[in-house]
Structure 1
């Protein structure tokens, strides 16, 4: 059984979150939703929502990838 590497967990979480948030930001820009517009109009709120959802999805994807890597390493160690 291997011990978790906190550095790899932190880096993969950060890359997943930032990558997902950027993807959400770019999707919002493509849809015409500017998170930096003056005031909190519907377009701004929608863009902020996409950035938040993208960041959460990216973090979830990074943790899923890490669990698959851990399972693959466990299979390799068992053989």
Structure 2
């Protein structure tokens, strides 16, 4: 791998993760789940779970988008 492809991989992963986490946070706010509530209430825990799920989903979407059209990409991705 060259440096350009590593840079593209790192940036796309970071953008996908942060974008997904922000989307999960905003969806949580719409549902009344604030991760910054004092203490660990049920609503803050579920909000944190949404942020984590959103970040993970955004990362997976970014990786699939980056690898689209590459032959055998599904076999090499772990």
TM-score range normalised by the length of the shorter chain: 0.7 to 0.9
Instruction: Using the TM superposition, give the Cα deviation of residue 24 of structure 1 relative to its aligned residue in structure 2, in angstroms.
Output: 0.1
- Which consecutive aligned stretches of 4+ in structure 1 deviate over 6 angstroms post-superposition? none
**Where do 5+ consecutive residues of structure 2 fail to align?**
72-78
Runs of 5+ unmatched residues, structure 1: 73-79
Matched, 1:13 2:33: no
SS at match of 2:68: helix
Residue-by-residue CA offset, 1:10-35 (whole Å, 9 max, x unaligned): 00000000000000000000000000
Distance 1:64 1:31 in 2: 29
TM-score when normalising by structure 1: 0.83
* Partner secondary structure for residue 68 of structure 1: coil
- Specify the alignment match of 1:63 in structure 2: 63
**In the comparison of the two structures, how many residue pairs are matched?**
69
- TM-score, normalised on structure 2? 0.84
More helix by share: 1
